[in-house]
Structure 1
């Protein structure tokens, strides 16, 4: 349904590789480029982080798509505590849908569990080179290593780290995923920027405007670089 003459929101249903229907909202700004927004664990596309980021991108004239992972929100399937590979495949299904529609997915923005799935996706599929990690976990002993295997870091170095650039945004007051996780990630990602939001908790409760500004600036920088690289 149209909000005004420039922006439209439309619900899309996209099947994943397992036959489940993924439900999402396209914020259409008329651009070929589009940003995918991935919610965290026990959340959905209607989480205020996702809706606020979509609104900020929309106001900047950048299209985005926020969707529910399998078993979350309106999407089909059973909810799982883990399921990172499955969520990476969900991102792949969504990315393929827009690529086949002649859209350019310029970035994936993921929060918490969604950020981990986005990083895993980038290491596996190599087709989207910009990842914005919001409060993702990077404790190799209790986080990614346990979930993805002891060779996860080595596989990412060989298959993905050089292929994408990333920005991590983390709150200094995050007690669910302590800020040390962001600093550890910064040590091993060569093409990476880190921004700490002072006083912010895991979901940036009182820092939504600052979060949106940081993410938007990074997306704009990505757009600018992509256009420069595409120039003859």
Structure 2
């Protein structure tokens, strides 16, 4: 029977990380999949819970979590409501969160293998982590970005430095979501360390790159660029798929969209 257990950890700067583990209680497999969501995303976005159940039904313990400064709270885990936290988020804080969760899995569970999946900006975080952490067994990226600075326009930087803040629009809610200049400063201060393509060159473990060829958020050419940086990685195109593989939020259907089903199947084949 598929079970779901919640957990809460102290994340970056003491902010909470709310997570959950989805698994089959009859399963004896000690492999875990750790999923990292993307920018403006969260662990319960769209069809993420259906995805978790799919992998749990195939013998994996599927763990997903909300990044501490992603703007969700333990009280509102399925919506970005804490704009103060969202505004003060940085790549350093997100990487610290990923490390906190991996440390938790390594120290409190008898997992033999930790497989990392990252979507969009979470894919870039997963690449950085997989390039340097020997605890990661396999890497899978879904629609990964190839450069953290692709999330803002270069011409915004002058205004950002001057006013201390810019805004991004939430396409679904039309809300203006603030980003403090600390995000830009953090990226500039660690530009070499946060170079995703350089990290891709250092990935030594098996890596599957999945990307839709109708992704208007992150073009398929980004996936090709990552694959060129790491020739041992396996690149697979999802024909006709957009950035979220046909899902949307909220997602009320009982079945996964066709492109998401294909994404999950290709991921499972690679893991097995």
Q: TM (normalized to structure 2)?
A: 0.69
Aligned match of 1:176: 217
1:87 equivalent among 83, 94, 108: 94
For structure 1, which segment, 48-57 or 203-212, has the greater mean C-alpha deviation from structure 2 after superposition? 48-57
Aligned match of 1:131: 139
> How do 1:39-188 residues align onto structure 2 when only pairs under 5 Å count?
39-72=37-70, 73-74=72-73, 78-80=85-87, 83-101=90-108, 102-138=110-146, 142=150, 147=187, 149-150=191-192, 152=195, 156=199, 160-162=202-204, 164-188=205-229
Distance 1:139 1:83, change over 3 A: closer
Q: 3-state SS of the aligned residue for 1:79?
A: helix
1:9 equivalent among 4, 8, 14: 4
Larger Rg: 2
Shift in Å at residue 133 of structure 1?
Answer: 0.7
Unaligned runs of 5+ in 1: 1-5, 221-232
Unaligned runs of 5+ in 2: 75-81, 152-183, 247-256
Distance 1:112 1:100, change over 3 A: same
Shift in Å at residue 154 of structure 1?
Answer: 8.0
Aligned match of 1:192: 233
For structure 1, which segment, 116-125 or 92-101, has the greater mean C-alpha deviation from structure 2 after superposition? 116-125
Q: TM (normalized to structure 1)?
A: 0.80
The aligned length equals 211
2:245 equivalent among 185, 194, 204: 204
Aligned match of 1:26: 21
Aligned match of 1:223: none
Shift in Å at residue 88 of structure 1?
Answer: 1.8
Distance 1:200 1:155, change over 3 A: closer
Whose relative contact order is higher, 1 or 2, with alpha carbons under 8 Å and at least 6 apart? 2
Distance 1:187 1:94, change over 3 A: same
